[in-house]
Structure formats: C-alpha cells, structure tokens
Amino acid sequence: MSSSTSVRTDDPPAVVLTGITKRFPGVVANSDVHLTVRRGEVHALCGENGAGKSTLMKILYGMQSPDEGTIEVNGEQVRFRTPSDAIKAGIGMVHQHFMLADNLTVQENVVLGAEALHGIGQKARRRIIELSGKTGLNVDPGVLVEQLGVADRQRVEILKVLYRGAKVIILDEPTAVLVPQEVNELFDTVRGMQEQGYTFLFISHKLDEVRAIADSVTVIRRGTTVGSADPKTVSSRQLAEMMVGSELPSPETRESTVTDKVVLDVKGLRLMTPDGSRPILDDVDLVVRSGEVVGVAGVEGNGQTELVETIMGMRKAGGGTITLLNKDLTKLGTLARREAGIGYIPEDRHRHGLLLTQPLWYNRILGYQTRRPTAKGVWLDTDGAKKDTERIVADFDVRTPGIDVPAAALSGGNQQKLVVGRELSGNPVLLIASHPTRGVDVGAQALIWDEIKRARAAGLAVLLISADLDELIGLSDTIKVMLRGRLVADADPNTVTPEDLGSAMTGAGSTSSSVQETGAAHETAVVEEGEN
C-alpha cells in the first residue's frame, strides 16, 4: 500500500497529545488522553458519540484549552488559545456540518477571513486553482457554492484549510454526508494528499471506512484512550467492541412478520417546489402492510424528507391520495393523521420532535394533546402525562434524573429514546421513522432497533427512512430507492449490498460494471417505473 510508505518515522511526530484532561463542572470530558500522530499518516480516531472525540479535537484546534496535559506539534510544545493559533501551527479542521455561505462563490468562501494571505483578487484565485488540484475539486473558483454537490462542498472545506496553510487536517465525520461512491473519491483525494506530505486526523465511527483509509487507529471510550490498533489486521467487529467495551447490537431482523393487510396506501403522490417550477415528489406509489418495514434509501435531498412530511400532512400534496386502513387522510391535517394512528419519529428531533426548554412530561403531550392519557377534552391531563412519561422513562431506559428536567439537558440518545417511546404509545398502526438512530450512541441504537422490531412483530407497519444503509438493509422487509422525487427501484434486503444500493441511489447503477444481479434488477425496475 502506497500510503504506508509516505509515513516518515524518523521525523518528530506531527502531533503528540500527552495526558490531556479536560473537566467541565461535574463531568470529565477527557481524562489522560494520549495520542501520537506521525507525519504523513492518516490517523483515525474512533469512538462512540459522547466518547469525547469532539472535545479532544476542540482542544487540538484551540477552541478549548486543556486543564492538564501538553500538545506538541512537530516536536515543539505549543499552547493554543484560539483556532487561529492552531491554524498558524498548521492545523486545520473540516467540520462535519459545512460552514459555507451558499450565496458566495468558491473563491469568496475560501478567502473569507483569510484576506490577508493573498488578497481577494487574482493572486488569491491563482493560489486557489493551484490548491484545488490537490483536493480533486474541478470547478472554477467563480462558481457559486449553492451550485455544488455535497462532495464538492466538502472539497471546498478542505480547500479552505489548505489555503490557510494547514499541514495537519482534522476531518470530523467526513463521510456522514456522502454516498459510498463519493466516499471512495474522498479517500482517493486523501491518499493523494497524503503522498504530498499532508497528515490527516480522521474522526469516524464507521469502522469499515476507518479500516479502508487509516494507517493507524486510536480508540477513545468514555473520555480516555483505550488503545490503538492496526487497521490492516483488526476486524470492524473487534474495533467496535473496543469502542463500546461490550458486544455489538445488530439491526438484523429474524423472520418475516409481513401480513397482507395494507396499512398505508399512497397513490400518485405529488408535491411541487414552492415556486411550482419542478416536482419534489413525482407520482409516488407506496404500500406498507401490517408487520412490514418498508425502507426508503436515497441520497439526502431526493425527496425523502418531503415524502414523510407530506404523508404527515405537514406539507400540502399537489395531488394523489393517502389512505390509512381504508381511511382517506388526503384532506386531513397533521393532528387528525396522528389521531388516525400514525406515530412519527422526525429526522431532526430538535426541530421537529421536542420542545427543548420544556420538561420531559410536557414533551410527552406534543402530538397527543387531544388524546388520553395526556388530555381530557380541552383540558390537559398533566398528571396523566407525568405518569405516562415515567412509564416511557422506565420502559425505554431514558437516562434522566427525573421527568421535570428540560429535554435539552438529555443526551441525544436519551432524547431520541423519549421520542421513540412517545411515538410508540397510543397504539399506532403506522410508524414513520426518519433516521431513527442518527446521532445516538450504540446503546440507544440497539434499544431503538429492538423496539421497532418488537412493534413490527406486534403488527405495526413501519416506513423507515435512513442514510445508514446497514440499518436500512437490516431492518427492512422491502427497500425502495428514491431518486429525484421518484421511487425508482426496489431492492431485496436479503441479497442487496450497501454498494448496490449506493449505485441505485446516485442513479449510476447502469454505468457501474460491478453491479450485481440485484443491481441489474434495479435497473429494469427503473425503466419499468419510468415508463408508467
């Protein structure tokens, strides 16, 4: 492997963190962390959500200062007060959530805040073009960022840190937003840059990717480094168990519980963009039966969010019908649809699932403000809501000191367990789950999967949207692929691989020679459905 040859072991390491400890009042975020990153290597930092990766990277990037411990860059001890100190020392960070201004050009985005380096004119432009080659970005610096795809936006982010002179680049969950093909392109870029002497710190919890790209791996668990591993010999499972400290959950469902009782029947659903120029949902037909999990795969922004919100009545459909157990929902509002028996786990629990400053029991009422046990007629039943919240906290293992704390005080996984518990109460007939385990820890993930499986076995129909293809394949009985507002292909979760799904999701299936038979089947499905 060429990558390993570019790692220079005789030079002082690019970054050495020794005994880093960071305490927040009442919590130790990092304790005695040791990390050595050699120059020119791709060093992966693995750990669950909440394990302390972000705090550690914030310390390395100068956003927070450690209580104890030292940072050495290229053999010299440094002390960062602000990110600009870190940038001066040649450390750059690409954040998971892009920090780009859509309405500015690539050049403007790159130069913004670094005008002093090469000005804002031709000199800057030349420098950007020179550097774009390294990142594999093949667009003119004058192009608006809003016209770029996700992968190119990420390259612009990398370009930004290169422009500021970074030699050590922190990539925070860089693949979370990419489809498998784009991940491969990113890895090619990383390898290419590695050969030119750049060093990468790759933060991820996707272990297959870590094994594919990293030269060495450090695992962090509950704030401290628990060990390192050689990515060439360790298996994903072993790595994961190091991360969690115990055995891993699996999304696999055992036997099929699908019945022929149709619960949700969507026919010819259409939705236009607000200006009416193009369809977001184009003639979508979808059937979910009792005891069945129907998974929808798709690259973000291909209409999955809108499909869910239209079924929930949060967006007004431009055409088509939605039927739940022979009851026509098409003209009903969101509340009536919920009352008809739809539970809804929204993709963004902060925006759509919770009232963050309100106590847990108050959140229990949301969506159930007309039903027992949280309401009686026009009156709220606060006692009933509190009692039922206690039940959810116990049954769904929501880790909280009580039901009177505001929802914002809980960790992401516990917030999500509360939402799942709420949406499964009141005996729903259909559960719409959008990214139900996004950003939650492994423990919460296992519990949420178990609960969805249990409800499915009891006859619940589930519409599952997920960007986690393993989750989608593991949980679903049927998988539909969504592309540009249409359901373009079906896949059999028993045989399909994430790579097949990835091809179908980007619409590139037919050009890829490695598409297997299931992949070919998708293509015929594309054609057939396209003709309808």
Partner 1 sequence: MGNLRGKLLPPALAIVFSMLLCGVALVISGANPLSAFGAMMSQVGKGTTLVDIINSTGIYYIAALAVAIGFQMNLFNIGVEGQYRVAAVIAAVVGGSIVLPPGIHTLVIIIVAALAGAAWAAIPAILKVTRGVNEVISTIMMNGLAIGLSAYLIRRDVFGELRGNNIRTAEIPESGWMPGISFGGSGTMFGFIFVAVALGIGYWIMMNRTRFGFELRASGESSTAASAGGVNAKKMVLVSMLLSGAIAGLISLPELLGRDHTFSLNFTAGIGFSGIAIALLGRNHPGGIAFGALLWAFLDKSGLALDNVGVPREIVTIMQGSIVLSVVVAYEVVRRVELAAEQRRVGRELGTVGGAA
Q: Which of 406, 426, 498, 507 binds partner 1 (CB under 8 A)?
A: 406
Smallest gap from residue 279 Cβ to partner 1 (A): 22
Beta strand spans in 25-152 (E): 27-37, 42-46, 68-73, 76-78, 91-94
Q: Which of 228, 257, 400, 476 binds partner 1 (CB under 8 A)?
A: 400
Span from 60-68, 196-204, 364-372, 514-522 in contact with partner 1 (CB under 8 A): 364-372
Tally of helices (H runs) and strands (E runs) in the chain: 19, 22
Give me the amino acid identity at 103: N
Question: Which residue in 68, 56, 148, 75 sits closest to 110, CA to CA?
Answer: 148
Cβ atoms 480, 307 nearer than 8 A: no
Please tell me what DSSP assigns to residue 247: P
Span from 84-92, 106-114, 372-380, 521-529 in contact with partner 1 (CB under 8 A): 372-380
CA distance 233 to 164: 36
Smallest gap from residue 334 Cβ to partner 1 (A): 4
Give the footprint of partner 1 on residues 34-93 (CB under 8 A). Answer: 48, 50
What's phi and psi for 47, nearest 5 deg? 175, 160
Nearer to partner 1, 425 or 518 (CB): 425
Could you tell me how many residues of this chain bind partner 1 (CB under 8 A)?
51
Q: Which of 141, 279, 353, 384 binds partner 1 (CB under 8 A)?
A: 353
Nearer to partner 1, 257 or 374 (CB): 374
- Under the binding rule (CB under 8 A), the answer on residue 244 touching partner 1 is yes
- Under the binding rule (CB under 8 A), the answer on residue 27 touching partner 1 is yes
Residues ≥6 apart with Cβ < 8 Å to 5: none
Question: Which residue in 263, 264, 203, 269 sits closest to 51, CA to CA?
Answer: 203
CA distance 90 to 216: 21
Q: Which of 296, 442, 488, 521 binds partner 1 (CB under 8 A)?
A: 442
Nearer to partner 1, 220 or 487 (CB): 220
Each residue of 394-414: b (16+ CB within 10 Å) or e? Answer: eebebebeebeeebeebbbbb
Q: Which of 18, 74, 358, 497 binds partner 1 (CB under 8 A)?
A: 358
The pair of three-digit structure tokens given for residue 202, joined into one six-digit string: 């790759």
- Under the binding rule (CB under 8 A), the answer on residue 257 touching partner 1 is no
Span from 63-71, 134-142, 277-285, 400-408 in contact with partner 1 (CB under 8 A): 400-408
Q: Which residue in the block uniquely carries the two structure tokens 């990110």?
A: 83
Question: Which residue in 480, 479, 478, 471 sits closest to 452, CA to CA?
Answer: 471
Nearer to partner 1, 22 or 338 (CB): 338
- Under the binding rule (CB under 8 A), the answer on residue 224 touching partner 1 is no
- Under the binding rule (CB under 8 A), the answer on residue 157 touching partner 1 is no
Cβ atoms 339, 371 nearer than 8 A: yes
Residues ≥6 apart with Cβ < 8 Å to 103: 144, 145, 146
Give the footprint of partner 1 on residues 268-327 (CB under 8 A). Answer: 312, 314
Q: Which of 99, 129, 212, 405 binds partner 1 (CB under 8 A)?
A: 405
Span from 128-136, 165-173, 254-262, 339-347 in contact with partner 1 (CB under 8 A): 339-347
Nearer to partner 1, 274 or 530 (CB): 274
Nearer to partner 1, 27 or 508 (CB): 27
What residues are paired with 531 via a beta bridge?
Answer: none
Smallest gap from residue 427 Cβ to partner 1 (A): 17
Nearer to partner 1, 97 or 351 (CB): 351
Nearer to partner 1, 177 or 442 (CB): 442
Sheet holding 15-24, edge to edge: 27-37, 15-24, 68-73, 76-78
CA distance 405 to 407: 6
CA distance 29 to 187: 30
Interface contacts to partner 1, rule CB under 8 A: 24-27, 48, 50, 222, 244-246, 312, 314, 333-339, 344, 346, 351-358, 365-367, 369-370, 375, 377-380, 382, 399-401, 405-406, 408-410, 441-443
